[in-house]
Structure 1
Amino acid sequence: MINRRIMMTSLAAGLIAPAFRSAFAQEWKAKYPELIFAIIPEENASGTVERYTPFCAYLSREIGTKVTLRVVQDYAALIEGQKSEQIHVGWYGPASYARAYLTGAKITPFVIEVSSGGIKGYYSVFYVKKDSPYQSVADLKGKNLGLVDPNSTSGNNVPRFVLDKMGIDPDKYFNKVVYTGSHENAVLAVQQGTVDVAANWWNSDDDSNLTRMAKKGMVNKDDFRIIYKSDIIVNSPIAYLDSLPEDLKAKIKQAFLEAATKDKDAYAKLSDGKDDPFQPVDHSAYEPVVNLVKFIDGLRKKNG
């Protein structure tokens, strides 16, 4: 008799649990009829929207609620959007994620982008015009330097770090330091002669911001030359709000991890088909970048 009661209780629990989970899912769907997925533009706004719209449509299908793309002005806007919980999922650069973490954003990185061949890192490079006389940073004293954004890893933090290791304070060494606002604008500033050298991201000879611009006919790749390449930098994370329900976070993470197989075309469009599938990540991968950002903050205070 006792065994029968236990069996009936277990059966009832088994029937109730799926119903409870379903009700819980409906509860978060009511609370989150729309999720905001934010990125910063690496290219012009129309190009960014074209690149990400199919992926957002895929996420909407997989997660079961509308995912809306928001192209924010810069990393500071992304950070503030997540701190105010107006942005649910954000695609960061490593340094901007570190900045968000250091300024109290309640977020967790859950996947990392992976370059072709399983590489979870990229580089910061300095570009000059191919026909310029500059062969090294030493040749550029008194010239104009183009950086991307104060919270860009490859476009500001790593360049300032490596310049400091060379004994160079960029704000004193160069005639002018210009923040261009985007990686594309930094390349265009070199092309147009606004700056003599500019920082940018680079994965490989056929996968960089420069090659993407060349593919769109914006520049000729062969008009530029790299005079410095950094050590490898951990790839960019995507982070969601800690306040999201656990089962919603699980669905978001699963959708990202399965994107490369479930919607190959949408995923390939993100990186011109040059990235491997997303992989799981956590905060520990970015501790070195947190320390880098702290170092850069120290430089600002010292030189300020």
Structure 2
Amino acid sequence: MKRMVSLLLLVIMSLSILSACSSEESGEMKKFVIAYLPSESSDESAKLNKTFEDKLSETIGLPVESYKATSYNAAIEAMKNGKADMATFGPFSYIVAAERAGVEPIVGISLPSLANSPASVIIVPKDSDIQTIADLKGKTIGFVDPVSTTGHMFPKSMIVDELGIDPEELETNFFSNIQFAGKHDTAVLGVVKGQYDAAGVSGMYPAMLEAKGLIEKDSYRIIASSGPLNATPVGIRHTVPDDIKSKVKQFLLGYDDPEYFENLFGMADAKFIEVQDSDFDNIREVAKKLNLTSEELLK
């Protein structure tokens, strides 16, 4: 009797697996899941995200749900394992996601107000004796996330280019300690509160936190700045059916809610724009220069 029950369970499990595979192969989806990062979480953003999700759901004819990712790596793994279908990445985390999880760019996010502003800055406390990048030797630094463009790749690239040192030396012999804060605002606050001697963050965050009253005016100094960033990619899982991809893309390109863009991206004039994978080849070149690979970053 036990053997019969076991065989029956095995048959049911096999049929379930085959059914799931058949459903995926036929292009059927029961829901569409958006992965959100910690920096995209607040009461206000949750409301705006819900409105966004409801409107997207109406467009694609599927329930739209959210997945709270703890980091870029978590979002990438969720998309790789089919637990999430779309997420907003930085250019660097996007190329890691494309390589590791087959993620494709569905649209990009353009920030016209920052077109001529530095994408990334290195900041120090206002009363620090650090004046130049060379003065960072032997100091502690806070980055944001290993796969953050403006909170890791660009600051590191600025240091390597300025000093002409090997990236490996930067990792092992230059700083006394390297930490990852997880979020841009946490890294900025880490500098202001003395947790780090310096931090590499998105260029818009220090002023944004100052405007919100979260840090005092002139509580930090910028010692280095990068060039501007053209666009931030929104990635979609490559196995999402083409008809759903098309509907999602058209929805995003036509989405116009200044409050949504202001809250999530810091700029009311932000908008979704057309992009393609090759637009981020320059980021791949910088990653290659810094010896940053997905295998190392996603350990």
Quickly name the TM-score band, shorter chain normalised: 0.7 to 0.9
SS in 2 for 1:164: helix
Matches within 5 A, 1:1-304: 31-42=28-39, 46=43, 49-50=46-47, 52-103=49-100, 105-117=101-113, 119=115, 123-165=119-161, 166-168=163-165, 169-171=169-171, 172-202=173-203, 208-260=204-256, 263-297=257-291
Query: For the Cα contact (< 8 Å) 1:54–1:266, is it kept in 2?
Result: no
TM-score, normalization by structure 2: 0.79
- Aligned mates of 2:107, 2:115 — CA distance in 1: 14
- The whole-number CA distance in structure 1 between the counterparts of 2:56 and 2:197 is 41
How far off its partner does 1:216 sit?
Answer: 3.6
2:154 counterpart letter in structure 1 = V
Unaligned 5+ runs, structure 1: 1-26, 203-207
Shift of 1:233: 3.1
CA deviation after TM superposition for structure 1 residue 191, in Å:
1.3
SS in 2 for 1:33: coil
**TM superposition shift of 1:116:** 2.3
Deviations 1:10-43 (A, max 9, x none): xxxxxxxxxxxxxxxxx96xx4332111132226
Where 1:80 maps in the other structure, the secondary structure is helix
- 1:235-283 CA distances to partner (integer Å, 9 max, x unpaired)? 21001122112111111001111111xx444344333443332111110
In the aligned structure 2, how far is the partner of 1:61 from the partner of 1:122?
38
The alpha-carbon distance between structure 1 residues 233 and 73, as it changes in their structure 2 partners (threshold 3 A), is same
Percent identity over the alignment is: 29
SS at match of 1:222: coil
Question: In structure 2, what residue type is equivalent to 1:62?
Answer: T
Q: CA deviation at 1:109?
A: 0.2
Q: Is the 8 A contact 1:122 1:235 kept in 2?
A: no
CA distance in 2, matches of 1:80, 1:146: 24
Bigger radius of gyration, 1 or 2? 1
* Cα separation, 1, equivalents of 2:124 and 2:237: 39
Q: Is residue 113–residue 120 contact of structure 1 (8 Å, CA) maintained in 2?
A: no
- Aligned in 2, Cα 1:217/1:60: closer, same or farther, shift over 3 Å? farther
